[in-house]
Amino acid sequence: MHYNKIFKKYHYCNMAQLRKEDIILREKIKLRLTELREKHGQNKTELSSKVEVDRQNFQAWEKHDIKRGPTIYSINRISKAFGISLKEFFDSDIFKTEKDA
């Protein structure tokens, strides 16, 4: 995935508090969340209920135009809901850097 377009969009929106690599990581987390949810055949409402997160917050995590993403605590609860460890959540090709690929 080409992240320069995403970075420019957020940089333009005055997101000086986030560095480029932080924005890229947040986007990768959103992609992984969507990937796992779809793989397990769950919709956002079902999964948000299962991990006890407000549905609107959960839906916002998968949007690519918001400033916030899930916390590490939420990612841990989501991982448990899928029956995987936090390590397994991040053990995905999505998180490989272009240098690693």
Q: How confident is the model at residue 49 (pLDDT cuts 50, 70, 90)?
A: confident
Long-range contacts of 79-87 (CB under 8 A, 24+ apart): 80/51, 81/47, 81/50, 81/51, 82/36, 82/40, 84/36
Question: Higher model confidence: residue 65 or residue 43?
Answer: 43
Distances (CA, A) of 95 to 15, 78, 100, 101: 22, 17, 9, 10
Alpha helices by DSSP H, listed for the chain, are 4-12, 20-39, 44-50, 55-62, 72-81, 86-90
What domains are defined for the chain? 24-95 (1.10.260.40)
Check residue 18 and give its pLDDT: 73
Structure tokens at 81: 């809901």
Q: Quick one: which of 80, 21, 60 has its CA closest to 72?
A: 80
Does pLDDT of 99 surpass 90?
A: no
Task: Give the number of residues written for the chain.
Answer: 101
Q: 0.85 cut: is pTM over it?
A: no
Does pLDDT of 8 surpass 90?
A: no
